[in-house]
Each structure stands twice: as structure tokens, then as C-alpha cells.
Amino acid sequence: MNTDLFEIIRTTRSMRRLKPDPVAPALIRQVLEAGTAAPSGGNMQTWRFLVVRDPAIKIAVAHWYRRGWHEIVAPRYRASTPPPGSSRDRFDRLLAAAEHLADHLHEAPVWIVPCLEGGTHTRTSGASIYPAVQNMLLAARALGLGATLTTLYLLFEKEAEAALGLPDGTHSYAILPIGYPLGKFGPTARAPLQDVVYADRWGEKWTET
Ligand SMILES: Cc1cc2nc3c(=O)[nH]c(=O)nc-3n(C[C@H](O)[C@H](O)[C@H](O)COP(=O)(O)O)c2cc1C
């Protein structure tokens, strides 16, 4: 297990090509415990985590994810320029990996679906679940497990959440497909700080001094 926090943060990238090999429940427990260590507003912890291993459920939900990718997201991404800090080549590899995940999502041995019970579903509610999501991604990475934060199934939110069997008033915020990665973990590609950080006034460059 890798325990250097900054190294883990730097190398936790989306791992979309996964082996179908099962993941020991004890490892999933460690990932879930990392999730529930996260903060939530008022420490209310209205989060619930659905661990999905049932192939029939995964197939039913993955149908909606695949439609979202092929019909809506892929054409949009293919027409766009590479994101900041990336290159055409790297972006093309990302798109190929994203397509692979869209076509193989149901084959990931385990999914964690982070949900919130009750309340309205807004930016504020998201702030009470995404810290748990990031903790779980980092924990998976530390344990040598690959994962990806995915949301594009939400293009068919009603249908996908029905296939997940979520009760009324409970909503999912992501699907995290988890498994042993086929590729290697590696550094994330991001824009440098000088492009994204301002000092005191909007637009004024931040410097370390
Ligand atoms: C809010 C959000 C939604 C995302 N949804 C998806 C998704 O549905 N499918 C997917 O393959 N990746 C998804 N991603 C992963 C991003 O594409 C990925 O994090 C980004 O391209 C940076 O790549 P990296 O994680 O490998 O560094 C999502 C990430 C975030 C933060």
C-alpha cells in the first residue's frame, strides 16, 4: 500500500480500463471507511453508499451510461480542443479510454454509488458528498485499485436511478467503477498554478513571495 499522501494525490488519475477480477470485500470496506471519514455539512452524514456487484443491475444502469456517451458526450468531446494542461495526443487517449469505459462499465467488478438521502439537490448538497467521493478515489489508489468519478449516466438520471433501485428522495451523485487497473497510475495533467490562481483581486497573478 502506498501511504505518501502527496504522491497519491499527484497520481490519482481516472483508471478506466479495469480487470474483471474480483476485489476483496475488506478492500472495499477500507475505501468506504475513507469515504465516511470525509466532512459533510453539520456532520449530518445523510450519505448512503450503494455497493453494486450484481451483474444484472450493472448491465441495466450501464445501458443508460452508454447511451449518454455515444449519443451526447462523445460527439461533443470529439469536436472540442484538448483541456488545459493536456495535448491532442493525450486527449485522444482520454477519449479512447472513456469510450472503453462506456462499453465496459458493467464489467467493473464493483461499483460504489454515493448517494444523499432527502433534502434538495444543489451545489450545497454536492459539497456534502464529493469530499467523500474524493477520499474514496484516493483510498482506492493507495490500495492499488483503479477508479473513475463518473456522472454522465445522469443524462438519463430518472432511468438510471430507477435501474439502481433508489428510493424516492434519494439521489446518486456519481458511479465509481472500481477494479484492478490494466494500465499504470501516473501523474495527472493540469494547467499550472499561474493560470488558475489569483491573489486578492480577480485576475491578479498569485506568486509564492
Ligand atoms: C464531475 C466529474 C464528472 C466526471 N464524469 C465522468 C464520466 O462520466 N465518465 C468518465 O469517463 N470520466 C468522468 N470524469 C473524469 C474526468 O474526465 C477526469 O477526471 C478528467 O478528465 C481528468 O483526468 P484524470 O482524472 O485522469 O486526471 C468526471 C470527473 C468529474 C470531476
What spacing in Å lies between the alpha carbon of 209 and ligand 1's midpoint?
33
> Ligand 1, from 77, 149, 156: best to mutate by most atoms within 8 Å of Cβ?
149
| CATH number of the domain where residue 34 is located | 3.40.109.10
Rounded distance from Cα 14 to ligand 1 centre (Å): 7
Residue 179 is classified by DSSP as E
Range(s) of the domain holding residue 45 = 5-181+189-196
Check pLDDT > 80 for residue 144.
Answer: yes
Using one digit for the tens of pLDDT, what is the confidence trace for 66-79? 999 999 999 999 99
Flag whether 148 is in a domain: yes
Tally the domains of the chain. Answer: 1
Is ligand 1 within 6 A of the CB of residue 141?
Answer: no
DSSP string, 136-152: HHHHHHHTT-EE--B-G
Cβ neighbours of residue 164 closer than 8 Å, sequence gap 6 or more? 50, 52, 57, 61, 113, 172
Mean pLDDT, all residues of the chain: 96
For residues 129 and 48, the answer to whether their CB atoms sit within 8 Å is no
In a domain, 132, yes or no: yes
pTM, rounded to two decimals: 0.96
Locate the DSSP E strands across 17-59: 47-52
CA of 15 to the centre of ligand 1 (A): 10
Q: Is 150 in the pocket of ligand 1 (CB under 6 A)?
A: yes
Q: Tell whether ligand 1 has an atom less than 6 A from the beta carbon of residue 152.
A: yes
Best residue among 14, 94, 104, 136 to mutate for probing ligand 1, ranked by most atoms within 8 Å of CB: 14
Residue 197: partners with Cβ closer than 8 Å, 6 or more residues away: 205, 206
Count Cβ neighbours within 10 Å for each residue of 24-47 and write b for 16 or more, e otherwise. eeebbebbbebbeebebeeeeebb
Residue 208 domain-assigned (yes or no): no
- Let me know if residue 207 belongs to a domain: no
16 lines ligand 1 (CB under 6 A): yes
For residue 125, pLDDT over 80 is answered with yes
Reading the block at residue 180, the C-alpha cell is 484492478
Instruction: Please report whether residue 201 resides in a domain.
Output: no
What percentage of the chain has pLDDT greater than the value 90?
93
Q: How far apart are CA 35 and CA 138, in angstroms?
A: 10
How many Å apart are CA 187 and CA 190, to the nearest integer?
9
What's residue 85's pLDDT? Answer: 83
